[in-house]
């Protein structure tokens, strides 16, 4: 469902920007491209925030050796994905600025369609990143819940063990 929503966003943004350009040809100008470029800055900021949140996972306690190894490999893949998104956002921002800075391109319908596509790509990543945060926090909550359950189990076993020892000690002192 998310992929369909992302594809819809990528395909509708060029149409919307082209329609807006037909009404207001100044839409594709250097000043306006600066505002559209802010979308890519936002993508970068959220992606890097996600990257810092993944660093919290490496200090998560209660993982077995196999789980920790699996987590380290998964984090390497996540870092790759975040840098990939950052690279795409940077490329899109430069292309949006470049298209907006060309006076010849402002008169062509290709400019708003191209910029719309690039903005659609940036916005589609803004749809993906919250899902990644949800996955990250769900994983951390699962591990914390498991750790808390293990602590309660150990505490209950210790109380049971202490409970069995206590009557034996009383019986021995009363004799």
149 has pLDDT over 70: yes
Residues written for the chain: 175
Whole-number pLDDT of residue 163: 77
Q: Is the dihedral of CA 124, 87, 37, 28 positive or negative?
A: negative
Sequence-distant (6+) residues with CB within 8 A of 162 are none
Cα separation, 56 vs 28, whole angstroms: 42
Domain boundaries, the chain: 2-174
pLDDT tens per residue across span 88-107: 888 888 888 888 777 777 67
How far apart are the C-alpha atoms of 25 and 28, rounded to whole Å?
7
Please compute the mean of the pLDDT values over residues 52-76 and round it to a whole number.
Answer: 77
**What count of other Cβ atoms lies within 10 Å of the Cβ of residue 12?**
13
More confident residue, 103 or 151: 151
Give the pTM.
0.69
Contacts (Cβ under 8 Å, ≥6 apart) of 75: 54, 57, 58
Residue 108 main-chain phi, psi, to 5 deg: -95, 140
7: left (phi over 0), alpha (psi -120 to 50) or beta: alpha
């Amino acid at each position: 469902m998310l992929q369909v929503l992302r594809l819809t966003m990528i395909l509708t943004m060029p149409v919307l920007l082209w329609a807006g350009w037909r009404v207001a040809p100044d839409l594709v100008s250097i000043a306006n491209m600066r505002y559209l470029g802010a979308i890519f800055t936002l993508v970068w900021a959220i992606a890097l925030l996600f990257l810092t949140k993944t660093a919290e996972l490496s200090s998560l306690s209660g993982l077995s050796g196999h789980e920790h190894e699996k987590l380290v490999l998964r984090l390497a893949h996540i870092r790759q994905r975040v840098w990939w998104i950052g690279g795409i956002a940077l490329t899109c921002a430069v292309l949006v600025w470049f298209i907006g800075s060309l006076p010849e391109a402002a008169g062509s319908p290709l400019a708003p369609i191209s910029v719309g596509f690039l903005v659609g790509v940036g916005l589609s990543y803004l749809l993906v990143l919250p899902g990644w945060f949800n996955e990250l926090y769900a994983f951390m909550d699962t591990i914390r819940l498991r750790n808390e359950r293990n602590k309660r189990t150990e505490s209950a076993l210790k109380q049971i063990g202490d409970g069995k020892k206590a009557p034996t000690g009383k019986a021995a002192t009363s004799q």
